[in-house]
Structure 1
Amino acid sequence: MAANDTHQAIETVFRIERARLIAGLARMVRDVGLAEELAQDALVSALSEWPKTGVPIHPGAWLMAAAKRRAIDGFRRSKMLARKHAEIGQDFEDQRDSSIEDAEAAMDDDLGDELLSLIFTACHPVLAPEARAALTLRLIGGLTTDEIARAFLSNEATIAQRIVRAKKTIGNAGLTYEVPRGKDRGMRLASVLEVVYLIFNEGYSATAGEDLIRPALCAEAQRLGRIIAGLAPNEPEVFGLLALMEIQASRLAARTAPDGSSIPITEQNRSRWDQLLIRRGLAALERAETLGGSHGPYALQAALAACHARARNADETNWKKIAGLYDTLRDVMPSPVVDLNRAVAHSMAFGPEAGLKLIDEIAEAAALRNYAPMPAAKGDFLFRAGRFTDARIEFERAAELSRNVREKEFLLKRAADCGS
């Protein structure tokens, strides 16, 4: 194999194995930052050795064995080996001479729990949501700080500091790298799903910048969702969130015009919707419902998305069913944003005046005061009711509030349409 091919193979293997390596190492050394460094050291060793010896039969086990040897050497140098042995309860020295096959077997014994424990740690509620998202994308997604910064329209230094602070916070909190049990697991799982949901939403509808959508962020969130679903096969809300993301992502190619402008769902070319993602999403939704999670907040949102996915064209959309699902979601997950979306659904099911009545009921909600979708929705109701002057005022206000260039252009175009 040529040197370039070997290097490419090494990089591919490392991308695949990276999260598993860090998960296993973090559990042993009790330090996620050190685990990340050890995984990187193993990559350096592979780049040095594999071009001469070839890619091993069990590359993941080779990398883990190399990282463990590096950890042992580090503990020796710092005279901490004895304390670490007592703390971790595992004799690293015995593993120095074990075969690669034995190392791989040891990795596989608890692999699911190790990776899941890393996800739960990266998404611990002790961290702020934005720190959880950055750390998750770094450790589990393998994104560089530059890639994370570009995804969230931040600068690399800010993201790097955020990740460093998150690692220090985890260390100072003395967290154990274990999957929580019982009630704690349910509480922590909600935090994990919240982070993945945050990452997906930022990709699906960018809050700022020039692009309306960021498909790479959506894809990363979907990948994380699939990992969690594989590791937690009996958690209905995991499948509810996965279903929601798969179905919503199926529409990405149809959501924007060639110039980047927004295309409303009622006007999208449904032949461009990804049918494979729709089938995956519907299967995940069925799994969530089978597990008894049909009224979970993510499963309900997935059921809403499924109503659109099942309609062959916009006219076949069952808006009355969507309105009913939003009534249920409002009881399960009360929030001003859900109330706003409920108003939209009712306006489509029962006419714009029904939407205006509901939107007037939430007009004073503090969370919606500077929320661009609020006046945008009201503008749409007014437009469909034939009150064009009032609609234009709402669309212009929504454009002023929006921080996304493409969304702002779309709203200003709708305002101009009111005049014509």
Structure 2
Amino acid sequence: MNNRLYYDDPYLHTFEACVLKQGTEPDGTPYVVLDRTAFYPTGGGQPCDWGELDGIRVIDVEEVDGDIRHRLEAPLSQERQRITGQIDWARRFDHMQQHAGQHILSASFVEALGAETVAFHLGRDHVTIDVRLDELSVEQAERVEALANRIVLENRPIEARFVTDAELAVMPLRKQPTVSENVRVVIIPDFDYNPCGGTHPARTGEVGPIKITGWERHRGNIRVTFLCGWRALSDYSRKHLLLRELTRTLNAGEAELAEQAQRLVAEREQLKETLEEKEKRLLEGEAQSLLAQAARLSDMRLVQAVLAGRSMQQLQQLARLVTTQAADAVCLFAAEGEKLQLVFARGEQVALPMNQLLKDTLPLIDGKGGGNPAMAQGGGAPVRPAEAVLAHARRLLEESIRVQQD
């Protein structure tokens, strides 16, 4: 482990190393293996470091068959034997804050609720742990969070080191190590002893604030989402600006925002119901008007119309109102727009299948659709005027009536 400089000093920004080998991944990405490195490879729930090797960007770091491969944006010169590495410190320190914060929060769940962590993920925007709990209340989450932040504010030392078998045997480990050799333990004295190969700050105070932002049930456990350090502060700043904007927009103090929002939602729902009722009455009146203008076809009334600016749902609703008011009615409706939309419907006294009529009409507009004998709907390209498409459907309808009468 002596060639892994991130274990000796997680604060190391730059280093020098010798190139041991160069290669190319199956996807064409070049990589190099060094005799020593400060770049942390992906592992243990922690993403890898980024940075540069002699000015060439390191885009991924992974351990493969015992080698730490530094995948590069462009290949190094084959003549280059010694290089200078530069760690993306902002990314590294963020990972140090989040990972140490996870240790503290997981230990706090054990201390406060007796709940162990069974999974950990450090993402680009959020960090999650899966905690062995059936449910988590707000009061419990606040208690765990308060304990975690107390440990942070006490600024306890964080010691990360490889331990002997004798030391390991007497340590109160939070979980058992996944390896049998070179076991590394991260220690927060009198609080947490956890086998871990990640990078961590020297003291808990550097973790910064720990904030639980939410939780949900996940595969029989509780998945807790949280933020630490600069991430938590950035999240607070963003939400504080949003809160200020809401207080201005709603003309309410912070304490009144929830009540004001509930009032607005209730008003919106009431307005929505009122609008829907008025739209229904307008459609009922429109249905009556269309029926008054209906043409007589044999023993049925044909309601044929091109209705501008209507959605498919509105066409369907209007067709239902017409056929409910008149059991002998047949509706041929169309609406023009980016697509030409069609709705064909019939009343209970009409035996002609509307889905077949639509199927025979859609080829005119390279359309697709479906439905049942009582109502069918579909749409296609507006390659023909809507009036011409409905006229074609009417001719098909008249032909079906003649066949039926014969």
* TM-score of the superposed pair, with normalisation by structure 1: 0.23
Give 1 or 2: higher strand fraction.
Answer: 2
- Max Rg structure: 2
Give 1 or 2: higher helix fraction.
Answer: 1
* TM-score of the superposed pair, with normalisation by structure 2: 0.24
Structure with larger RCO (C-alpha < 8 A, sep 6+) = 1
